[in-house]
Structure 1
């Protein structure tokens, strides 16, 4: 998952009827097919060859294939199956459309939940370089929400969304709330920020959340890929002061990953998703036939909220692991290995959140890394992929993409947004 900032175009998108993301619906998007070969599409030629070898060695064409012991693959979702991040896009969509079911007091409580007071890390300062404290910016956002709640007709007031969006209170709310998310994720363990973002779904039903997620997906699929800087209004400095941040707009489907999923299933290899987003949001993108991935709802492992009277609560599901980094390995072991008795034959990811599951299972023949030229833990896996480039039994492979278009390119190297040079490693 990669953090984003917010949308400038406040397009109105109608919310679809509640989704029924059942196994039957997902299977309708992925009808059974005869064993097939992986479409070369825009895969690196070396990667297409390596993936085809893994499919041939472990799928139904293999003499050792057992239908009662079906191999399986695990994919990260955000920035692996798609370009950019659908849950962080949803945070922006929710703010833009003020789709909350929280009273001002409930919002104020969620806003501060599990986040320490005090200054954020040194990079998170006002436009004139002063430190930003959690308690100050939270007070500003709470005041904005109380005003918006009292005035917006979708909550408790009489003003239309368009009228509200033109106000400085809305603009201040929008910029400072996302600044908070960004600052929380970088200043504290990522678990705090990734859980915090989903607590704002409190009081929604699953159908309501998934309808909002579908509208957000459709909006961002139609939006341009572009980075835009935003600044809070100077007329409302509040306690925190004026802050600024940037957002990478837009989402794109990675057709090569979608094709790989269909080819795996056609060859008797099951497909699962492991995500650091809440699973009910990713199930919309992974399972709805409009998007074409065909992943059943029960095959998505992600973050989970506790439920109360059929609605989400602002608390994490007790006993459920945090599905990020080493936690993704825990999830695969608890949900899949415990039932099947073996690990995944293929794992795909893009970031530190995926680095462990890419390397932790002895049954994994290949780890596919969507190359974002990152350092850290995923950088270590990427370095191994670079060292194994072209080897017939490569344990890791790097797949390039162009961040200007959101399309993969037939190379191990990638092109960063705003750049023209293809690079292999950070």
Structure 2
């Protein structure tokens, strides 16, 4: 799809700015004795804010038809929807930076290989010499370096401090090649392989250890600038895979607009659920800990699950009988845990990517959908176009909310501002 012109973008932003009056219109179903539920202005697109407010007052406790015994409920994706960037990915980086692993080298070998095909990674992940890389080449390198770390780091079986371990090339070799695998697997193979892969690195931990690590990750991320980071493995440890590099965006931020949404939905008597493709313990912590402003009960998270032993220790195995909560799996999980509980589907759904598409459109009961605009393609681009085409119309069901990747903040339009860019773009 061709990019919109700057003129069209400015027109859309101007229209959104001029729509402020929409938020002051009388809300259907709210009596004069009731106070209409409002969202703080912040950086919402005005039309989006007005539509969410109208939804809250039309279907929440201000509605004459509201039944507290059968309340409506909303389902939210988490990463890049409730926060800027991805909590699971940030936690993985924190694990690597601080060597927070509870595995032997043999367990690490199993986790890194888990269900990954032996075929070569996508060409973008060839090594520095231009040669293809696969799991059988890169895992031995990572595990050899992890074994050195395991035997020498005082947080495992050795005597060296973390600072001293970081001076050895084995540290950079392990951390870079592990992070490289995450990207290479994700861009080469199906999400059913890529999404669980990073979770297996929690092997040997319990829930409280994972949640504590999430807390430490969030405190660390607050100190980090929003920037692209690049790691390159040391040439002194070529191994089988050779020198590889990997880049990602750092600087996770909480989203005050979405914190407000959770508060407003609770005020309206609408139940809140999270359905995430991240590990359930990771999202339980950030969504429920009052330090982070979302205040959603930990048992209101549906996410990726791993097997645990009788003592609650996480195993290198996806939980039997559970679906992966991505794409169609999100719909299946909602049907299993929520539709069976309430007797109906979600009234409101929010997400940002292709993984959220199914839950956005599979339920006849859904009245409103919010997409955080990340200029994603495929089917989510089709829904995003619907949001653009129905913008400012009374019957708009799909909302597209803009974001600035340079600041980690919403913008007052539908436009997404890419990292490094100064102007926004509405559709991919």
- TM-score, normalised to structure 1, is 0.91
1:355·1:377 contact (CA, 8 Å) conserved in 2? yes
Q: Distance in 1 between matches of 2:400 and 2:408?
A: 16
Partner of 1:56: 57
Q: Displaced runs of 4+ in structure 1, greater than 3 A?
A: none
Q: Distance in 1 between matches of 2:36 and 2:210?
A: 37
Task: Decide which structure has greater helix share.
Answer: 2
Find the partner of 2:354 among 352, 355, 360. 352
RCO (CA 8 Å, sep 6+): is it higher in 1 or 2?
A: 1
Partner of 1:398: 400
Which segments of 5 or more consecutive residues in structure 1 lack a partner in the other structure? 1-33
Deviation at 1:35, TM superposition (A): 6.3
Helix, strand or coil: the match of 2:416?
A: coil
1:149 aligns with 2:141: no
Q: Distance in 2 between matches of 1:203 and 1:35?
A: 49
1:62-97 superposed Cα distances (whole Å, 9 cap, x missing partner): 111111111111110000000000111111111111
1:201 aligns with 2:202: yes
The number of residues matched between the two structures is 393
2:154·2:160 contact (CA, 8 Å) conserved in 1? yes
Partner of 2:375: 373
Q: Distance in 1 between matches of 2:201 and 2:230?
A: 24
1:35·1:267 contact (CA, 8 Å) conserved in 2? no
Matches within 5 A, 1:17-416: 36-309=37-310, 310-416=312-418
2:327·2:358 contact (CA, 8 Å) conserved in 1? yes
1:23-69 superposed Cα distances (whole Å, 9 cap, x missing partner): xxxxxxxxxxx863122221101101111111111011111111111
1:113-163 superposed Cα distances (whole Å, 9 cap, x missing partner): 111113112221012211112101011001011111111111111110001
Q: Distance in 1 between matches of 2:424 and 2:205?
A: 44
Q: Distance in 2 between matches of 1:110 and 1:228?
A: 25
Q: Distance in 1 between matches of 2:400 and 2:191?
A: 25
2:416·2:425 contact (CA, 8 Å) conserved in 1? yes
- TM-score, normalised to structure 2, is 0.90
Which segments of 5 or more consecutive residues in structure 2 lack a partner in the other structure? 1-34
1:271·1:295 contact (CA, 8 Å) conserved in 2? yes
Q: Distance in 2 between matches of 1:380 and 1:301?
A: 26
